[in-house]
Structure 1
Amino acid sequence: MSPSAPQRGQRPHAHRTHGVFAISVAADMVRMEVQNLRVYERRGLLTPDRTSGGTRLYSQADIEVLHRIRDLLADGLNIAGIARVLELEAEVERLRARLAEADGNAAPGR
């Protein structure tokens, strides 16, 4: 089994959303400063997991959000603009999932 494969009983995407990377590792992965990741969390752009001791743990999904934030910053958006883009992108994903579900539940022949 590969390291990224989900464990038995886990949802297939659970490994993507489980925090495993310390803040310094996450910052290195996306080539950002640690303090920037803390700012993005305070501004609600992402919510990493926390250990019982309060240490932030970033998931693969969090790393993807950080890459998206970096790209949007490079495009000239400010934090408020990035927050809005991320909200809209999440809404599009929710609507796509609902549409796919509705298409899957549609009666054959319609």
Structure 2
Amino acid sequence: MDEDSPVFVISMAAELAGMHPQTLRQYDRLGLVRPGRTAGKSRRYSVRDVSRLREVAQLSAEGVSLEGIRRILDLEDAVAGLRGRVAELETALADELLNRPGRRVFAAGSEGDVVSMRAGTRIRRSNQVVIWRPLDH
């Protein structure tokens, strides 16, 4: 069974989470948990939803307000999304590095222009000494 499949009716989800069904309805209204809906608009909870309900109960027992819980859950969701995006980008970068062994690297030239270079090489910098003297007026 998929962790995100909405399979539990509200009474079963409430029992699994150790809560009253009315509490689940309130948490749904507040956006703390977002169960799936059937065609008839009945709530269906997933394993992930039940786990989230348990987390809400734990935070509530520790004295965190419902608004605080909502903010914590929103931040956890954002972090999970960002971790997923980082993993995607790391995979794309690894694929690109493997698929382009003779890739080029870019550097900034002395005038600020973009200079294309082979991997493993360095740009040659000027080693001239420049002396600045103010104009006498």
Identify the TM-score tier after normalising by the shorter chain: 0.7 to 0.9
Alignment match, 2:41: 54
Alignment match, 2:76: 89
How big is the alpha-carbon RMSD for the aligned residues of Structure 1 and Structure 2?
1.7
Alignment match, 1:39: 26
> When you count helix as a share of all residues, which structure comes out higher?
1
Opposite residue 91 of structure 2, the aligned amino acid is G
Query: TM-score, structure 1 length as denominator?
Result: 0.81
Q: d(CA) in 2 for partners of 1:65 and 1:90?
A: 11
Alignment match, 1:22: 9
Identity rate of aligned residues, in percent? 39
Residue ranges of structure 2 left out of the alignment (5+ in a row): 102-118, 120-137
Opposite residue 38 of structure 2, the aligned amino acid is T
Residue ranges of structure 1 left out of the alignment (5+ in a row): 5-14
Count of residue pairs the alignment pairs up: 97
Q: Could you say what secondary structure the match of 2:63 adopts? A: coil
Deviation at 1:34, TM superposition (A): 0.8
Q: d(CA) in 2 for partners of 1:98 and 1:27?
A: 33
Alignment match, 1:11: none
Larger Rg: 2
Q: d(CA) in 2 for partners of 1:44 and 1:56?
A: 13
Q: Could you say what secondary structure the match of 2:87 adopts? A: helix
* Relative contact order higher in (CA < 8 Å, ≥ 6 apart): 1
Query: TM-score, structure 2 length as denominator?
Result: 0.66
Q: Could you say what secondary structure the match of 2:44 adopts? A: strand
